[in-house]
Structure 1
């Protein structure tokens, strides 16, 4: 199976990452959630709902915003880790993370 994660920072600012089953092999959704927990804290992201539980979707969006467009534009390890962890955490083969509009679609 082919996995695709697209991170959007506005018009003509889309960063696409493609992975295969082999790229995700040996990793779990729980490990991905822990990665997002750590990045969310390290980047000092603010919860979108200050009185409620922070969902994995909120963490993915917060980490995308907090990590910033430059990290995705560079396409280095952190950006690839983000994409891999998002695919694992959400269990979807196609994910569109819109950091500007704070939304995720499949």
Structure 2
């Protein structure tokens, strides 16, 4: 089964991170990694209630990181592993301008 994370930042080509040959990240470690990045990058909740869903956290971290951070292959791989594990989906598509995460 194919496993990848794709992040789109606009009209330019999306960033695709292949996870087929990569060791999966444990779910609890993935949540911790995303929490750490969310806090470190100063992300804000998307919802007015302040509730942060895992998909929102993935989207906010991708948005805060921007294309430049995704140029760091090691960080991009960790992001992809964490996103896939936290959301428990082998294929994740993140559309930053559209504010959507799909599986």
> TM-score normalized by structure 1?
0.88
Q: How many residues matched?
A: 103
1:98 paired residue among 76, 95, 98: 95
Q: 1:38 aligns with which of 32, 36, 39?
A: 36
Which of 55, 58, 62 is the matching residue for 1:57?
Answer: 55
2:85 to 61, 85, 88: 88
CA distance in 2, matches of 1:36, 1:88: 11
**TM-aligned CA distance change 1:10 to 1:21, over 3 Å:** same
Contact 1:2/1:21 (CA < 8 Å) preserved in 2? no
**How do residues 22-33 of structure 1 correspond to structure 2 at under 5 angstroms?**
22-24=22-24, 27-33=25-31
Once superposed, what is the RMSD of the aligned Cα atoms? 1.5
Q: Following TM superposition, where does structure 1 have runs of at least 4 consecutive aligned residues deviating by more than 6 angstroms?
A: none
Structure 2 unaligned residues grouped into runs of 5+: none
- Per the normalisation by structure 2, the TM-score is 0.91
The residue that corresponds to 1:67 in the other structure is: 65
Structure 1: state its 5+ residue gaps.
none
- Structure in which a larger fraction of residues adopt strand: 1
Aligned to 2:8: 8
CA drift at 1:53: 1.5
